[in-house]
Chains A and B, each alone.
Chain A
Amino acid sequence: MIRIVDYGVGNIQAFMTIFKRLGLDATRARTADELEGATRLVLPGVGAFDHAMTLLNQSGMRPRLEDMVLARQVPVIGICVGMQMLASGSDEGQLPGLDWVPGRVKALASHPQSKDLPMPHMGWNDIRIRPGEKLFTDFEPDPRFYFLHSYYFDAQDKDDVAATAEYGHHFDCIVSRGHIHGVQCHPEKSHHFGAQLLKNFAVL
Chain B
Amino acid sequence: MLRPRIIPCLLVHKGGLVKTRKFGSPKYVGDPINAVKIFNEKESDELMVVDIDAAVNKAEPNYGLIAKLAAECRMPLCYGGGITTAEQASRIIDLGVEKVSVSSAAIADPALLTRMAEAIGRQSVVAVLDVRKKSGLFSKGYELCTHNARTVHKVDPFAFARQLQEAGAGEIVVNSVDRDGEMAGYDIELARQMRAGLRVPLTILGGAGSLDDVGQLLGACGVIGAAAGSLFVFKGQYRAVLINYPTQQQKDDLCRAALRDRDQK
Contacts and interface: CB of A to CB of B under 8 A. Distances in A.
Return the 10 tightest CB-CB contacts between A and B, nearest first: A13-B96, A47-B121, A120-B123, A191-B43, A122-B201, A14-B96, A189-B76, A125-B2, A124-B3, A123-B5
A17 B1 contact: no
Nearest to B202: A118
B71 interface: yes
Contacts of A166: 1-2
Given A11-B96, A46-B124, 5 more contacts: A17-B96, A120-B122, A124-B5, A148-B124, A191-B74
A48 B121 contact: yes
B120 A46 contact: yes
Contacts of A189: 74-76, 98
A148 B123 contact: yes
Nearest to B72: A17
A14 B43 contact: no
A191 B71 contact: no
Interface residues of B, number: 39
Contacts of A119: 199-200
B61 interface: no
B209 interface: no
B110 interface: no
Given A17-B71, A120-B201, A125 B3 contact: yes
B223 interface: yes
Contact of A144 (B3, B98, B122, B225): B3
Bin chain A's interface residue count.
20 to 34
Contacts of B70: 13-14
Interface string A145-162: 011111000000000000
B45 interface: yes
17 contacts: A11-B96, A13-B71, A47-B119, A47-B121, A118-B223, A120-B170, A120-B171, A122-B5, A122-B171, A123-B3, A124-B2, A125-B1, A125-B2, A144-B3, A146-B45, A146-B76, A191-B75
B75 A146 contact: yes
B95 A13 contact: yes
A122 to B, nearest CB: 4
Contact of A118 (B74, B99, B118, B201): B201
Given A120-B201, A122-B201, A148 B76 contact: yes
Nearest to B97: A11
Nearest to B1: A126
A120 B124 CA distance: 10
B93 interface: yes
A186 interface: yes
Interface string A117-134: 011111111100000000
B35 interface: no
Contact of B123 (A13, A17, A21, A122): A122
Interface string B88-125: 00000111111100000000000000000011111110
